[in-house]
Amino acid sequence: MELQEFFTAHPRVALAFSGGVDSSYLLYAGFKWAAKLGVYYVKSPFQPEFEYRDALRLTRELGAEVTVLTADPLSDPLVAANPANRCYYCKKVIMSTIKAAAVRDGFDLIIDGTNASDDISDRPGYKALGEEGVLSPLRICGITKARLRELSKEAGLFTWSKPAYACLATRIPTGEAITAEKLHAVEQSEDALFRMGFTDFRVRTKDGAAKLQFIAEQHGEAAKRMDEIKAALAPYYSEVSLDPIPREKSK
């Protein structure tokens, strides 16, 4: 099935929009081919502010309207406890928030940006999508992440080259309780690294300490600037170290 055919078969849909590469292209395609597209962005402590700004920027550039909702996944104790399947419970909170707004606005189908490259066997959140009746057009149509970037570039979307960015909660190890303060520390620390010119990294935190992971192309530069980095992150962590093994480049 082609993506245009999907929207012909499902002309009225609500999009769970994150501002990332996947849902951004889906926004473009839905805005182009759907008869009626509702766009819903959920603002939560799990998402950094720059993702929200990117989401608003893209909707402005495409001339699409977006409904901004708020949700606090930490209000669910099963999310805050951070078990191995935390993403399942978090996704239930996010999708139920979108579903309530979409139904109110007259939509009975929600779509999301899961693509054909995503390994759903390792994604507890995908189970929640199925339970909530959410469809993933990019996956249904066999569109991979690499192809999405190509299509996004052809469409002139600035998101085509955005590195993949998992939610802030993924920086906290499974089993360690998640708090708003820990999420804020991660966001501020990663924002500081962005301002220093780094673009593909993670601030992994555990028990008040941070371990920094950079891709190979930026690892050497980070090692040279560790004194500067430690000073920038000092307000948030008692200890900051550099992981000696570079992380894989975000796809």
Predicted confidence (pLDDT) per residue in 48-90, tens digit: 999 999 999 999 999 999 999 999 999 999 999 999 999 999 9
Q: Which residues neighbour 186 within 8 Å (Cβ) at sequence distance 6 or greater?
A: 168, 171, 172, 203, 205
Strand, coil or helix: 201: strand
Co-location of 31 and 78 in the same domain:
yes
Position with higher pLDDT, 213 vs 166: 213
Q: Which pTM does this prediction carry?
A: 0.93
Q: Around 163, how many Cα atoms within 13 Å sit in the side-chain half-sphere? A: 15
Last residue of a domain, one of 112, 130, 161: 161
Regarding whether 185 and 157 lie in a shared domain, the answer is no
d(CA 120, CA 202): 22
Say whether pLDDT at 239 is over 80: yes
Band (pLDDT 50/70/90 cuts) for residue 123 is confident
Distance CA 47, CA 55 (A): 11
What is the percent of the chain with per-residue pLDDT over 70, rounded to a whole number? Answer: 99
> What local confidence, expressed as pLDDT, does residue 217 receive?
95
Give the distance, in angstroms, between the CA of residue 248 and the centroid of all CA atoms in the same chain: 17
Rounded Cα gap, residues 244 and 251, in angstroms: 21
Q: Which of 128, 161, 194 is the last residue of a domain?
A: 161
Report the share of the chain in percent with pLDDT over 90: 89
Residue 215: which of 173, 168, 164, 167 has the closest Cα?
164
What is the spatial distance between Cα 24 and Cα 240, in angstroms, rounded to a whole number?
34
Is residue 169 situated within a structural domain? no
- Residue 238 belongs to a domain with what CATH number? 3.30.70
In a domain, 8, yes or no: yes
Q: What is the DSSP letter of 225?
A: T
Tell me if 14 sits within 8 A of 103, measured CB to CB. Answer: no
212 and 107 in a common domain? no
Domain range spanning residue 220?
179-242
Residue 122 has pLDDT above 80, yes or no: no
SS3 57: helix
Angular region, 36: left φ>0, alpha ψ -120 to 50, beta rest: beta
Same domain, residue pair 23 and 124: yes
- Count of domains in the chain? 2
CA neighbours closer than 13 Å in the CB half-sphere of residue 241: 9
